[in-house]
Amino acid sequence: MVGEKQELFEGGLIINHLNNLKMLLNKTRLLITIITLLVVTSKVSAQDYMAQFSNKIDFNILNEIIKMSDDTVYVSNTNHLSKDGLFYFYDKNGNKAIEMGYEVAYPFTGKTAIVKNNGNWGLINRLGEFIYHSQFPVPIKLSSYEKYGIFDDGEIFDNGGIIYDLKSGTQQSGFINCAEPVTPDYFIIKTKAGKYKLIYRKEEKSIFKTEMDSIVPQEFMMYDERPNLLILKNKDKYGLSLSNGQEILKIKHEKIQFLGKYIMLLENKVWKYYMFENNKLNLIISSEFQCTSPTYQSNAIGVYSKDKKYNILKINGENLSQDFDYISGEGTLGIMNNSLVIFNSKTNFYIFYKK
């Protein structure tokens, strides 16, 4: 009887749950991409700011390239050495690293950079030599998992086109369309009463005795080998727990939020930013600013807005020397008047494209 119950549980609830997980995972990936690029202002949206550059710049590609890029050279269409509006590569001293200019050029990623020349896209090495130059004016794409560059050369390929590893500059035979997740050990269900429970799959049991108003995991998939942090809400109070049931903070706090790897705790109108390390919370910084999205830089916490302007909060409590009309969700790029700027891995910025 117990075996039949287990079989029914595994064959029914888990299968349905896995199907739902796959759908949620795809939706989550799409949502992350949208959030990454769109931080909405109260009156003027991010799309409005980005629209002035969208005829030339692919923001999805630029966002991913910046996160993979190094800081040894930078690329810009505005410099005292060039007045023709083309994009050139410069070294850290402001001298041209490559003499040739391009209609569009993205930062170097490892050994290659994506450029547009004579209306067609291609890859160059650090000497400015073309590794590949498409014969067709079709925009380059990036694979979703490895971030390979994919060129459509006009022919039909099972793998989608001519594929290059941007970091090494080597041609690839294919790419991964979507990595299937391993079945999680924990999952959240909604009860008929509109409450939420955390279920441990292996034992078919609820982790918490009390049903919660909401349960928010720090990571989407929860496994035994790496217990996941959870924000628990009950009766308008917040607490923090591990997915195995270990209590970290009692459910008595005013507000708790996740911000990437950080945990935000609101106390007396001050936001405290913690990291969970060695099985305890370690305070990183306290600030008046409430960040809305995490940045990719290791020396920064996240993006925040104030008075309809955007800035980045750093882990030392400092922020950028000036505010911006818009900053992308991961802190990769910003817009200031008619200029599109890039934030490098140290949170320094430079003008990438000026209209």
Which pLDDT tens digit goes with each residue over 154-210?
A: 654 445 589 999 999 999 998 887 666 788 999 999 999 999 999 999 998 999 999
Q: Which among 232, 326, 257 is positioned nearest to 40, based on CA atoms? A: 326
Mean pLDDT, the chain, integer: 87
Judged by phi (left if over 0) then psi (alpha if -120 to 50, else beta), residue 107 lies in beta
Note the pLDDT of residue 267: 95
Tell me the average pLDDT across 60-75: 93
Note the pLDDT of residue 116: 97
Tell me the average pLDDT across 87-108: 95
Residue 26 has pLDDT above 80, yes or no: no
Q: Tell me the three state secondary structure of residue 38.
A: coil
Higher-confidence residue of 9 and 248: namely 248
Q: Tell me the three state secondary structure of residue 227.
A: coil
pLDDT band at 9 (very low <50, low <70, confident <90, very high): very low
Note the pLDDT of residue 124: 98
Tell me the average pLDDT across 145-162: 74
Q: What is the DSSP letter of 298?
A: T
Higher-confidence residue of 352 and 50: namely 352
DSSP E strands, 37-195: 73-76, 88-91, 104-105, 113-117, 120-124, 130-133, 141-142, 149-151, 162-164, 171-172, 186-190
Q: Which among 72, 75, 67 is positioned nearest to 331, based on CA atoms? A: 67
Higher-confidence residue of 203 and 230: namely 230
Note the pLDDT of residue 45: 66
pTM: 0.82
Tell me the average pLDDT across 25-40: 49
Describe the strand order of the beta sheet including 229-234 as a list of residue ranges: 214-217, 229-234, 237-242, 247-253
Note the pLDDT of residue 49: 83
- First-to-last alpha carbon distance for the chain, in angstroms, is 72
Report the percentage of the chain scoring pLDDT > 70: 84
Residues 6+ apart with CB under 8 A from 100: 88, 128
Compute, in degrees rounded to 10, the torsion defined by CA atoms 299, 305, 309, 314.
Answer: -10
DSSP H or E stretch at residue 200? strand 196-200
Note the pLDDT of residue 326: 96
208-227 residue pLDDT tens: 999 999 999 999 889 998 88
Tell me the average pLDDT across 103-130: 96
